[in-house]
Chains A and B, each alone.
Chain A
Amino acid sequence: MSHLTPEQRKELKATAEKIVTKGKGILAADESTGSMAKRLGPLGLENTEENRRQYRSVLFTAGKALANNISGVILFHETFYQNADDGTPFRKIMQDCGVIPGIKLDKGVVILAGTRDECTTQGLDGLSERCEQYYKDGARFAKWRCVLKITDTTPSDVAIQEVTNNLARYASICQSNGLVPIVEPEILPDGFHDLATSMRITERVLTAQYHALMRHNVYLEGTLLKPNMVTPGHSCEKKESPQNIALATVTALQRSVPPAVPGIVFLSGGQSEVDATINLNEMNKLVAKKPWALSFSYGRALQGSVLKKWQGRPENVKIAQAELLKRAKFNGEATQGKYDGSGENVEAAESLFVASHAY
Chain B
Amino acid sequence: TCIGYISLLFLRSSQPLFNSRKMPQFFAALTKEQRVELKGIADAIVAPGKGILAADESTGTIGKRFDGIGVENNLENRRNYRQLLFTAPKLNEHIGGVILYHETFFQDADCGTPFPRLLQKQGILPGIKVDTGLVTLPGTDGEPTTQGMDGLNERCAEYKKNGAQFAKWRCVLMIKGSAPSYQAMQENATVLARYAAICQHNGIVPIVEPEILQDGTHDMTECLRVSEQVLSFVYKALMDHHVYLEGTLLKPNMVTPGAQATIRNTPEEIAMATIAALSRTVPPAVPGVTFLSGGLSEQQATDNLDRINKCPGKKPWALSFSYGRALQASVLKAWAGKKENVAAAQTVLLKLAHNNGQAAQGKYAGGDQASGDSLFVEKHVY
Contacts and interface: CB of A to CB of B under 8 A. Distances in A.
A200 interface: yes
A258 B279 contact: yes
Interface in A282-326: 289-291
A1 B220 CA distance: 11
Interface residues of chain B: helix, strand, loop or mixed (majority): loop
Given A214-B228, A254-B285, A200 B25 contact: yes
A254 B229 contact: no
A147 interface: no
A220 B221 CA distance: 16
B159 interface: no
- Most chain B CB inside 10 Å of its own CB: which residue of A152, A194, A260, A291: A260
Given A1-B221, A117-B14, A214-B228, A256 B239 contact: yes
Interface in A242-295: 251, 253-260, 289-291
A259 B282 CA distance: 8
A200 B26 contact: yes
B28 to A, nearest CB: 8
A211 B236 contact: yes
A214 B233 CA distance: 9
A256 B245 CA distance: 10
A194 to B, nearest CB: 8
A289 B239 contact: no
Given A255-B239, A256-B283, A210 B232 contact: yes
B315 interface: yes
A254 B235 contact: no
A215 B229 contact: yes
Contact of A152 (B20, B236, B276, B282): B20
A192 B283 contact: no
A116 B13 contact: yes
A197 B225 contact: no
Interface residues of B, number: 33
B280 A151 contact: no
Contacts of A257: 283-284
B174 to A, nearest CB: 18
A59 interface: no
Contact of B281 (A204, A208, A258, A290): A258
Given A1-B225, A258-B282, A291-B314, A208 B26 contact: no
Nearest to B242: A200
B284 A207 contact: no
A201 interface: yes
Interface string B209-234: 00000000000011001001100110
Contacts of A254: 283-285
Contacts of B3: none
Contacts of A204: 239-240
Contacts of A253: 284
B25 A152 contact: yes
Given A151-B20, A214-B281, A260-B314, A116 B236 contact: no
B296 to A, nearest CB: 25
Contacts of B13: 116
B316 A211 contact: no
A150 interface: yes
B23 interface: yes
Contact of B316 (A207, A208, A291): A291
Nearest to B221: A1
A289 B316 contact: yes
Interface of B: 13-14, 16, 20-26, 221-222, 225, 228-229, 232-233, 235-236, 239-240, 245, 276, 279-285, 314-316
Contacts of B285: 251, 254-255, 289
Given A1-B225, A116-B13, A289-B316, A211 B283 contact: no
A235 interface: yes
A215 B189 CA distance: 15
18 contacts: A1-B222, A1-B225, A151-B20, A152-B16, A193-B24, A196-B24, A197-B24, A197-B25, A210-B281, A211-B236, A215-B229, A255-B283, A256-B239, A258-B281, A259-B279, A259-B314, A259-B316, A291-B284
Given A258-B282, A259-B284, 5 more contacts: A116-B13, A152-B23, A254-B285, A258-B281, A260-B276
A220 B284 CA distance: 15
A298 to B, nearest CB: 25
Contacts of A184: none
B228 A116 contact: no
B115 to A, nearest CB: 35
A192 B23 CA distance: 9
Contact of B14 (A116, A207, A291): A116
Contacts of A201: 25
Residue among B228, B232, B280 having the largest count of chain A Cβ atoms under 10 Å: B280
A193 B21 CA distance: 7
A193 B26 CA distance: 11
Interface string A179-202: 000000000000011101100110
A259 B315 contact: yes
Nearest to B29: A200
